A and B are shown apart, each in its own frame.
Chain A
């Protein structure tokens, strides 16, 4: 360093980038992109409202008040309540046994009780119906949907039992509460957000379900909308029923928000400590039997049926393996496309919400979650509606199907992307810049390694869900294209169970790999979040 420079510091302007306008940097680009995503996600809602206003409100009121419509609503509502309750009981009980008792083989059970989530609901229905046709109607639907959906309670509740502050239970005991009272008043209330989350997931899944109910011959709003729109082309009836369905789904979300607002779960202890483990003693064997029974019913029946058909059907009813490979490749291609697109769509929204936490960005982020309440069938009908009117080229095309999947599973992608974006706080980028790295290098060496696993998880979540998606696929799949789900469905509706089974088996097999990736990612999360205190 020479003194002349120190005396007259001269800024070498040619070496500088043109004036950096970061002075009042607003994330304009992010806002534009996130806004576009939000508009895209709002299309189904726009469709429902447009349809409703077109047919006129008096007509809608007339259709809604038909006794048949009321019966559909009653069918849908009572099944939703019954299944949600049953799932809550089974999910919470199994979670408590796995997380809080000395049940033998807890680590194995923790995996086994979650597995049914990888089996599509309509495959569970198929399994039971092919065992005995007496499984149908309300109780059939109750049985099948409970067995298919209880992991949606188990997962959040088990996580909450695992993470809950054991100090609160200890304090409750020291204040004179018994075991049961402590469980009721402390443990369950700690799990309250998880229970609410489970309720939302299960009831939304029930409102949107089509395949399983069709197999079980149980009529709900969704099955009727499918019938009216795809078979009898009675669009006014389909739209008015869609309106009711969307209102019910939004009511579920709204109820959840209202219930959540009333209680806060505070966790004061910073160091994670394992909860108290209860000794089962003489209850060990009955508890184990319960777990075995649940596994047989939820996993054994559908998987057993598939395996049975694979080995016991004549070769003539087995589909040609070439068509299976073709369908599998098509399915994987669609799923990969949907995974990539949904992850991409979620990025601007997640970046905006995490990097620029303001009231406005929070509202934007929340609004995208409304799509969660829109059944896949209605998303599909909306896309058909808009493509016929606006972009005829896209009608009955693969891109439209992939877009449909991406909209439907956007909330899944957003949750994972948001978590991963939060893994790479902006401070790390600043430090990397101060250490002499240019912005692109920083993205490559810091941001991507941190965000990457989460993006992979988002991709996998959407991939997994797309492989086993049936309803939206049936409506949007281009003519002549076969996916695993459509082939399975074609054979099942012909009652060719033997021919349908291999497709179900493949679907489950393809869905298992991403589940494994996801499991590993979620297991790695705590280690990550523990760093810099």
Chain B
């Protein structure tokens, strides 16, 4: 059974279309990241699912219960969807404990809910103790504090606990970590992931950070021009992007022109096997090939098999080093694929061990390992 099912969702603000036919299925108990650049409509999608905005067309089904179609919509308070906004949005006039208990109805005082009670998944966690939730998010003992006495990371944890307190069928997280410092972000992210996984909660997280999406989610849906451009496991997306744009969006990518030769492809770094996948396998002749930086290896001695170049920049990250290399001879590139102006496409990026030290200006040779994804050169 699916935790969330979105079909053919359209949404426009005035004449401006934002979502143009979103189809998305989220398996129950899994975490799906919706990844997209800012302005791509990912937050709008979340707000439609939560019930804060109406869809123009399409349906939303949560835990098997239809909550929205083009004629009717359940108001947010009847959807049983937990929502964790970007800044936490804790109620400033309530203590942490009162914030968490805000949506919990005391036993015996539960609002009558005719015709829905049977359909709801479990109902609200009446009496799920605030202390238990505080412990779950690692904030034991802070129940009597006020939101302004908490750090940003603590506020986010409280916001999550507050959303979980109603025993939701689905939790939506709107860029919940983007307002946190880099160090804090990683730890809060891991904690949130642990809590969601331990509780087996279906969750949808919106983010513009591909590292975050790839590292935390069971499934990633990339939203692009109002549609889901690609949806799959992080591995699938990274290894089999549907087009060069997607390849660039999901991490560093070297996109080079190559020639297909049977099941092999001749790249400037040497001849490599083609990773069979969908459309890319069906091409012949000149293609665009994706070689990830970690597939490349540098050598100081020239063997003649690889591509010669010069080191122009070295960025040391501790665990690895990212080296930028300018090819000695002009590289054959397909201009159609280069849409991202921030990437200098005539340079090659190599990810190497952290202990590799190369001075700028060193002549090197680049060779590649593994398989590559290819697309028709005219794409």
Contact = CB atoms under 8 A, between A and B. Distances in A.
Interface of A: 1, 3, 5-6, 9-17, 19-20, 22-24, 423, 425, 427-428, 430-439, 445-446, 449-450, 527-528, 530-533
A527 B76 contact: no
Nearest to A441: B77
B64 interface: yes
Nearest to A7: B64
Given A5-B119, A433-B51, A434-B76, A450 B92 contact: yes
B116 interface: yes
24 contacts: A1-B119, A1-B121, A6-B1, A11-B72, A12-B115, A12-B119, A16-B73, A19-B72, A23-B54, A24-B14, A423-B92, A430-B52, A430-B76, A430-B83, A431-B162, A433-B75, A433-B76, A434-B52, A434-B77, A434-B82, A435-B103, A435-B163, A436-B77, A436-B166
A533 B180 CA distance: 10
B363 to A, nearest CB: 45
A531 B52 CA distance: 24
Contacts of B103: 432, 434-437
Given A6-B64, A436-B124, A532 B71 contact: no
Contacts of B280: none
A5 B64 contact: yes
A432 B80 CA distance: 12
Interface string B139-166: 0000000111000100100010011011
Contact of A446 (B74, B91, B105, B152): B91
Contacts of B77: 433-438
Contacts of A11: 66-67, 69, 72
B147 A435 contact: no
Query: Counting chain B CB atoms within 10 Å of each CB, which of A13, A435, A438, A527 scores highest?
Result: A435
Contact of A430 (B85, B147, B162): B85
A435 B102 contact: yes
B262 interface: no
Given A433-B75, A434-B81, A427 B87 contact: yes
B5 to A, nearest CB: 8
A431 B64 contact: no
Given A434-B76, A437-B103, A449-B93, A20 B54 contact: yes
Contacts of B51: 433-434
Contacts of B82: 434-435
A17 B75 CA distance: 8
A267 B116 CA distance: 52
Contacts of A12: 115-116, 119
Contacts of A17: 75
A453 to B, nearest CB: 9
Interface residues of B, number: 57
Contacts of A14: 115
Interface string B87-131: 111111100000000110100000000111001010010000000
B187 to A, nearest CB: 17
B92 A435 contact: no
B321 interface: no
A496 to B, nearest CB: 51
Interface of B: 1-2, 14, 50-54, 56, 61, 63-67, 69, 71-83, 85, 87-93, 102-103, 105, 114-116, 119, 121, 124, 146-148, 152, 155, 159, 162-163, 165-166, 179
A23 to B, nearest CB: 5
A519 to B, nearest CB: 20
Nearest to B74: A16
Contacts of B72: 11, 13, 16, 19
A528 B91 CA distance: 11
Contacts of A450: 91-93
A316 B87 CA distance: 67
Nearest to A425: B89
A10 to B, nearest CB: 7
Which 4 residue pairs spanning A and B have beta carbons closest together? A435-B103, A6-B64, A531-B148, A433-B76
Nearest to A533: B152
Contacts of A15: 78, 114-116
A530 B87 CA distance: 13
Given A11-B66, A12-B115, 20 more contacts: A6-B64, A16-B74, A22-B53, A23-B54, A427-B89, A431-B85, A431-B89, A432-B102, A432-B103, A434-B52, A435-B82, A435-B162, A435-B165, A436-B78, A436-B124, A437-B103, A438-B75, A531-B147, A532-B88, A532-B89
Nearest to A428: B89
A436 B152 contact: no
A449 B102 CA distance: 14
A508 B78 CA distance: 53
Contacts of A9: 61, 64-66
B90 A532 contact: yes
Contacts of B69: 11
A425 B81 CA distance: 20
Contact of B87 (A20, A434, A532): A532
B123 to A, nearest CB: 11
Contacts of B102: 432, 435, 437, 445
B332 to A, nearest CB: 47
A431 B72 CA distance: 21
A435 to B, nearest CB: 3
B29 to A, nearest CB: 13
A5 B89 contact: no
B149 to A, nearest CB: 9
Contact of A436 (B61, B80, B88): B80
